[in-house]
Amino acid sequence: MVKASVLRKKNEEQLNKDLEEFRKNLAELKFNKASASQQMKVSKLRTVRKDIARVLTVLNTMKKDEAREKYAKAKYQPLDLRAKKTRKIRRSMTKHQRRATTLKERKRAENFPQRTFAVMQ
């Protein structure tokens, strides 16, 4: 069983090689299971499958991180790199848009603010 922390230190090429190795391993195990000529540890199948999944996870997250760096300053980001939130939130106004006021409003607010008066006893 490989550890993900070990895998993350490798580069893409090495990870692809590992992936190839694991897949070959898995294929052999499947053949052995089917031919049932020898007693085999069926639990091995599961560990190899999960190893493959681990390598793929590390590979894909690496690629995604690279993409994020690449498009960080782009005007339009790829859709899967944008904030997910919810569909509604994505379509609603931004904070800036909500707070926006016309020049006229601002001037009026500045020159004629809401006054509060108190009755002196």
Partner 1 sequence: MGRPPRAPKKVYKKKAAEENKEGDNKAAKAKAVLTRGRFLKGKHKVWTTATFRRPKTLAQSRTPKYLRHSTLKAGTINKYSTIEYPLVGESASKLMEDQNTLVFIVNLKATKPDIKRTFKERFNVDIRKVNTLIRPDGKKKAFITLKGEQAAVELGSKIGII
Q: Which residues bind partner 1 (CB under 8 A)?
A: 19-20, 23-24, 26-27, 30-38, 56, 59-60, 63-64, 66-68, 71, 74-81
* Cα 94 from chain centre: 23
> What's the closest the beta carbon of residue 11 comes to partner 1, in angstroms?
14
Cβ distance 72 to 78 under 8 Å?
Answer: no
Judged by CB, which is closer to partner 1: 66, or 105? 66
- One-letter amino acid at 50 equals K
Token digits of residue 86: 């919810």
> What's the closest the beta carbon of residue 94 comes to partner 1, in angstroms?
18
> What's the closest the beta carbon of residue 76 comes to partner 1, in angstroms?
4
Token digits of residue 49: 């499958």
Cα dihedral 12, 13, 18, 20, rounded to 10, equals: 110
Judged by CB, which is closer to partner 1: 61, or 101? 61
